[in-house]
Amino acid sequence: MVGAPEVELQLDREDFLARYWQRKPALLPGALKGFKPPLSSHQLAGLALEEDVESRIIEYRENAWVLHHGPFNNADFQRDHPWTLLVQAVDHFIPEVAELRKLVDFIPQWRVDDIMVSYAVDGGSVGPHYDNYDVFLLQGEGQRRWKLGQYCDGDSALLPHEELRILSLFEAEQEYLLESGDILYVPPGVAHWGIAEGECTTFSIGFRAPRVNDMVSRFADHLLEQLDPDQFYHDAMLDPVSRAGEIRPRDLERAAAQLQGALDQVTGNRWFGELVTEPRYEAFPDDDDLAEARALLREGAGFLALSSTSKLAWQQEEAGICVFANGDSRRYNASVIPTLVSLCELWRLEGEALSSALGIPECQELLDYLLESGCIYVE
């Protein structure tokens, strides 16, 4: 994950966030002028042959949507009906694809999930659907016609299928033909349907959004870690009951007040950072790789770089900062902030910045922690 995209996103970032982000779709024609896709359809097909790569083919035949899971072989790419190949997390395998994440670096990095790349034959599609996350659809090779429809939610009717979530009703309200370098932003809940016009590839920069019930569950775990297990419901100044067995409004008010008192005692909010940095695919180094990386650092490594699979974030606290790395967290003093900012903004440390970091004991501990967590690698 080094370097920068060869082309710059043509976008008024503040205007986009104010008017479109999580609100409504946005067509960005010519967003990447002179864009050259960093991955060809043949290279994508090659990835789909690999065991450790998550890939799917969606085919439309005999008025039904059919899903196939990879890994595939070359014969799987010879089909008589319209089909689409989708490969997940391509940015984890192809550094040039990972560079595309820098196009959206005005959005918090911990919100980015991965980059899925799809290839479709003429007429290929994955059907009308909606996502629960934001996505930037960057057109690579060829053309794809996108139709945007109604807002959807968990009550929207779907076609019967064990895995695919295809809408049974789609009402097209807007339609756009995307060419290479065009981008279509689609917020959560908006129905969309992309159909290839000729062969084409699309790079989908997807964002992660934790479910509210996951946030509640994680916060509850954090709360329980801090509460005194010997605290109990109490009802001093109890009024006499008039109807046996009744739970009265005053009893519920008393319970709610005691719960609020427990919430007010909670300190720290590491639970959120740990939740949003949990990696989809774990890639922790083995002992031999870790020992080699540490040796390279001692000998004067050329540079440190963020791994394409890493989830790294940090937050300011009263007594320093908390660093979140692939679902874990540790506290450090403020001396590590310049090192963290460089890693998060530039995706690498080298030269004077690396030498300076290695000269600060707290930064040395931070870099060793990031090596252990699989967030960085050494060259």
Q: Give 88-109 as a DSSP string.
A: S-GGGT-HHHHGGGGGGTTS-G
pLDDT exceeds cutoff 50 at 241: yes
Residues of the chain with CATH 3.40.366.30: 277-378
Lowest mean pLDDT among 1-10, 175-184, 207-216: 1-10
**Residue 228 tokens, joined:** 């005194």
Residue 253 has pLDDT above 50, yes or no: yes
From 241, 247, 107, 286, select the one nearest 185 (Cα to Cα). 107
What pLDDT sits at residue 1?
47
| H/E stretch holding 213 | helix 212-226
pLDDT at 294: 86
The token pair at 181 is 């370098």
State the helix-helix crossing angle for 361-373 and 337-346, rounded to 10 degrees.
Answer: 40
Compute the C-alpha angle 296/305/303, nearest 5°: 45
- Do the beta carbons of residue 85 and residue 46 sit within 8 Å? no
* pLDDT tops 80 at residue 106: yes
CB 48 within 8 A of CB 55: yes
Query: What is the dotted CATH code of the domain comprising 13-207?
Result: 2.60.120.650
Chain centroid, CA 84 distance in Å: 22
Q: Which CATH architecture has domain 277-378?
A: 3-Layer(aba) Sandwich (3.40)
Report the alpha-carbon distance of residue 362 to residue 359 in Å, rounded: 9
Q: What is the mean pLDDT of residues 278-295?
A: 83
The distance between the two most distant Cα atoms of the chain, rounded to a whole number of Å, is 80
User: Please, where are the H alpha helices in 57-152?
Assistant: 95-98
CATH 2.60.120.650 location in the chain:
13-207
pLDDT at 38 over 50: yes
Which whole number is the average pLDDT over 132-161? 96
Contact (CB, 8 A) for 128 and 167: yes
Nearest 10 degrees: CA dihedral of 320, 326, 327, 329? -20
- Coil, strand, or helix at residue 140? coil
Neighbours of 83 (CB within 10 A): 24
Cβ-contact 45, 71 below 8 angstroms: no
